[in-house]
Amino acid sequence: MTIRHALRGTILRFHDNPFFTPAADAMHIEPDGLVVIADGHIETVGNYDDLRPNLDANISIADYRGCLIGPGFIDAHVHYPQLSVIASYGEQLLTWLERYVFPEERRFHDENYSAEIARKFLNELLRAGTTTAAVYCTVHPQSVEAFFRESAHRNTRMIAGKVLMDRNAPDDLRDTAQRGYDESRHLIDRWHRNGRQFYAVTPRFAPTSTEEQLTLAGALLDTAPDLFMQTHLLENRQEEAWVRQLFPARKGYLDVYDHANLVRPRSIFGHAVHVSEHDLGHCHDKGCTFAHCPTSNLFLGSGNFRLFDALRAERPVHVALGTDVGAGDTLSLLRVANEAYKIAQSTGHSLHPAQAYWLATTGGAQALHIDHLVGKIAPGMEADLCVLDPAATPILAQRTANAESYNDILFALMILGDERSVRATYVNGRKIDF
């Protein structure tokens, strides 16, 4: 028997991409709306008064009047093993990796430790309203096993993979090209499209892989349908110079990945701060995706991603938002949107709240090619939802009391909001306790 339940509140949906239509008009707002959920999926959505008479008198309705009901947030770039090294002082990318990240990632040799951190990570992610993430594990297959097991237990839709690193890393954090291939292949068989889990082939970044390993990563992508690829690209100037030294035969950093057949749809490149116009045109042609990680770029002093350049209408590149914890200092995509706004301001553009909210939800799902599953409130979609409270803190309540529009309320939430503004998170129709 189908069990239905419903949520009542203000429902936010997009009928257009707010970067290519006037942003203020891109959202459809249902001020007193109802979302009806059956068997983990959205069954109906619309106006409360219109829908209520057709429903069973005894249906359970969660009352979120005064709150905004939208899709769960989508984090396109995050490292679960770095939860404990968030907020590490005083370094930029390459020395930060050596000093803080690699020593912590060694601990994921232990599957029990991996499971403990995976649990904490997923709890924090859901508390922040994020229901889908593209997640780096470590080089240890057991770190991947532990993560997927914890995700499957919660039935969250996650994308994750084993980091591939066969050089320029400590001995006990390196695989070999062949071992990395074999271990990834085994994990793909176990976890890719197992329930709600997706696998991402995960070469960490060009400096820590030989050409042979990158080529095998490209070959892995052809071994199963819908595999993802995630790596880092052009985050930091020293990193870029190092890649040029390590791969002198290639035309540039992006060409290293392209040569290995890694630049394609479902490939997610973290950062892309220092991309050239030529790179942007090429990424548009190839249909790959950038994860914009402003909190991380500010924390490590990496530089300013040119969002509005990447999205230029004549050759847009897919863009989603990423927290990049532990270089990013928060798992809240509201706080990421806050810093994305400030970085856009510094490049002469004002990121509209509808645009930021779109990147964190519907646009993020499109950029990851999972918008037929999540990222929208529409019949048939998986019921992953995030309910935001515009009066969650005294200052938010003060600021939104006389708000002039829903766009204005969203802007207040993206600038003043964080985990505290998340009133509820639903995964596959089930409310999460936190």
Residues that bind ligand GUN (CB under 6 A): 79, 93, 97, 101, 204-205, 232, 235, 296, 324, 327
User: Minimum distance from CB of 230 to Zn ion (Å)?
Assistant: 9
Choosing among ligand GUN, Zn ion, none, which partner's interface includes residue 18 (Cβ < 5 to 8 Å by kind)? none
Q: Give the CA diameter of the chain.
A: 70
Q: Check the CA dihedral 349-334-311-25 and report its sign.
A: negative
Question: Residue 93 or residue 283: which is nearer to ligand GUN going by CB?
Answer: 93
What are 71's strand-pairing partners? 385
Q: Is the peptide bond before 326 cis (omega within 30 degrees of 0)?
A: yes
328 binds Zn ion (CB under 5 A): no
The CA distance from 379 to 13, in Å, is 12
- Size of the residue set binding Zn ion (CB under 5 A): 2
Q: Segment near Zn ion (CB under 5 A), from 42-50, 145-153, 306-314, 318-326?
A: 318-326
- Within a 10 A sphere around the Cβ of 301, how many other Cβ atoms? 10
Q: Determine which residue in the list 129, 161, 270, 363 makes contact with Zn ion, applying CB under 5 A.
A: 270
Q: Segment near Zn ion (CB under 5 A), from 1-9, 267-275, 312-320, 341-349?
A: 267-275
Q: Give the amino acid at 376.
A: K
Question: Residue 79 or residue 423: which is nearer to ligand GUN going by CB?
Answer: 79
Question: Residue 129 or residue 270: which is nearer to Zn ion going by CB?
Answer: 270
294 binds Zn ion (CB under 5 A): no
Q: Segment near Zn ion (CB under 5 A), from 43-51, 185-193, 264-272, 313-321?
A: 264-272
User: Minimum distance from CB of 183 to ligand GUN (Å)?
Assistant: 19
Q: Specify whether the backbone of 264 is left (phi greater than 0), alpha (psi in -120 to 50) or beta.
A: beta
- Which residue's CB atom is positioned nearest to ligand GUN? 327
User: Minimum distance from CB of 211 to ligand GUN (Å)?
Assistant: 17
User: Minimum distance from CB of 85 to ligand GUN (Å)?
Assistant: 10
Question: Residue 48 or residue 102: which is nearer to ligand GUN going by CB?
Answer: 102
Question: Residue 324 or residue 389: which is nearer to ligand GUN going by CB?
Answer: 324
Give which of 136, 146, 119, 164 is closest to 325, Cα–Cα.
136
Choosing among ligand GUN, Zn ion, none, which partner's interface includes residue 140 (Cβ < 5 to 8 Å by kind)? none
How big is the CA angle at 209 (ends 202 and 231), to the nearest 5 degrees? Answer: 30
- H/E stretch holding 66 reads strand 60-71
Radius of gyration of the chain (CA): 21
Locate the DSSP E strands across 88-213. Answer: 130-136, 158-161, 163-164, 197-203
DSSP string computed for 246-302: H-TTSSSHHHHHHHTT--STTEEEEE-TT--HHHHHHHHHHT-EEEE-HHHHHHHT-
Q: Determine which residue in the list 175, 324, 329, 389 makes contact with Zn ion, applying CB under 5 A.
A: 324
The span from the first CA to the last CA of the chain, in angstroms, equals: 29
Q: Which residues contact 344 (CB under 8 A, 6 or more apart)?
A: 307, 308, 350, 351
104 binds Zn ion (CB under 5 A): no
User: Minimum distance from CB of 417 to ligand GUN (Å)?
Assistant: 24
The CA distance from 88 to 326, in Å, is 8
User: Minimum distance from CB of 296 to ligand GUN (Å)?
Assistant: 5
Choosing among Zn ion, ligand GUN, none, which partner's interface includes residue 356 (Cβ < 5 to 8 Å by kind)? none
The CA distance from 341 to 200, in Å, is 29
User: Minimum distance from CB of 239 to ligand GUN (Å)?
Assistant: 7
User: Minimum distance from CB of 327 to ligand GUN (Å)?
Assistant: 4
Task: Give the binding site for Zn ion (CB under 5 A).
Answer: 270, 324
